[in-house]
Amino acid sequence: MKIFITGATGYIGGSIALHLSSAGHHIRGLIRDQDKAGLLIERGIEPVFGDLKNIDLLIHEARHADAVVNAANSDDEGAVDAFLHALQESGKSLVHTSGTSVIGDAVGGNSRSNTVFEEESQLIVPPEKQARRNIDLKVLAARGMRGIVLCNSLVYGEGKLPNTQSVQIPLLVNQALESGVVRIVGSGLNRWSNVHIEDLCELYRLAIKSAPAGAFYFVENGESSFFDIGQAISERLRLDGPESWTEAEAAEVWGLARARYSLGSNSRVNSIRARRELGWNPQHVSVIEWILNEFKI
């Protein structure tokens, strides 16, 4: 199968590209930096130079592919519109990457939500995240094609391309290495579901192969509080902490959106549908064990 992937030199997009290539698919990957082309070529990925603003290029690549994976930017509506236009009435697949901060709550890290969302749940979406949810819904409503949304929780694990990393844990780690103290938002009672990058990549493969049109999947295999994550980082780096920052203090370093939603919210989900429909069987179960035993400093 010929698959076009955006974000092909990134943590998620690059990992998906290599996973799908190893499964026998022919991958063309969108990249902005020509200096990174060699990273893909030597791994059997064909680079396509451009970005999400090159609408004509996106339409061309989508029409000449058997499936499209959008892994570059969950919030770029123009790129999604281009893919939907290109693939309409084609019967082909668009797998769009979203994220579970779409149901994050602004608790400043100070409370644990008792709400765990499932795919069939009525989602509670904060106003700041409604635009992302609207893009998800647009993909799911597409006709004459297979529009599929994978809504990823906190992703951890080593990227399949060199020098690529996830968002949330590296934010905490980098701040700790710079300051000598691990810091979290609030008391860290807030909890996030999480998933290992290898398990995530396998779900993308299964979704391309078998997911029905309009399928929405949460992507998780376990959850942890940010206090426990911070404590594991402290132990792994042999640093003090975790110490508490207010949301305002955290926003000065990480920005308000990341302080409030990436690190200070609850985002608890169950990935029931992927297991039931696609036979997804994730193998990695503990972000804490990964931090303590596998995380590379």
Q: What is the pLDDT along the chain (297 residues), one digit of tens a residue?
A: 999 999 999 999 999 999 999 999 999 999 999 899 999 999 999 999 999 999 999 999 999 999 999 999 999 999 999 999 999 999 999 999 999 999 999 999 999 999 999 999 999 999 999 999 999 999 999 999 999 999 999 999 999 999 999 999 999 999 999 999 999 999 999 999 999 999 999 999 999 999 999 999 999 999 999 999 999 999 999 999 899 999 999 999 999 999 999 999 999 999 999 999 999 999 998 999 999 999 988
pLDDT of residue 297: 80
Residue 125, in any domain of the structure? yes
Q: How many CB atoms lie within 10 A of CB 124?
A: 13
Per the structure, how many domains does the chain have?
Answer: 1
Do the domain assignments include residue 117? yes
**182 in a structural domain:** no
CATH code (residue 112): 3.40.50.720
What is the domain extent for residue 82? 2-159+194-221+268-279
The answer to whether 31 touches 51, Cβ cutoff 8 Å, is no
**Residue 56 and residue 80: Cα distance in Å, rounded?**
13
Instruction: Please check whether residue 183 lies inside any domain of the structure.
Output: no
Whether 62 is in a domain gets the answer yes
CA–CA dist 186, 202 (Å, integer): 34
Q: What is the pTM of this model?
A: 0.97
Block residue for tokens 């063309």 = 28
With a CB cutoff of 8 Å and minimum separation 6, the contacts of 151 are 98, 99, 100, 102, 136, 216, 217, 218, 219, 269
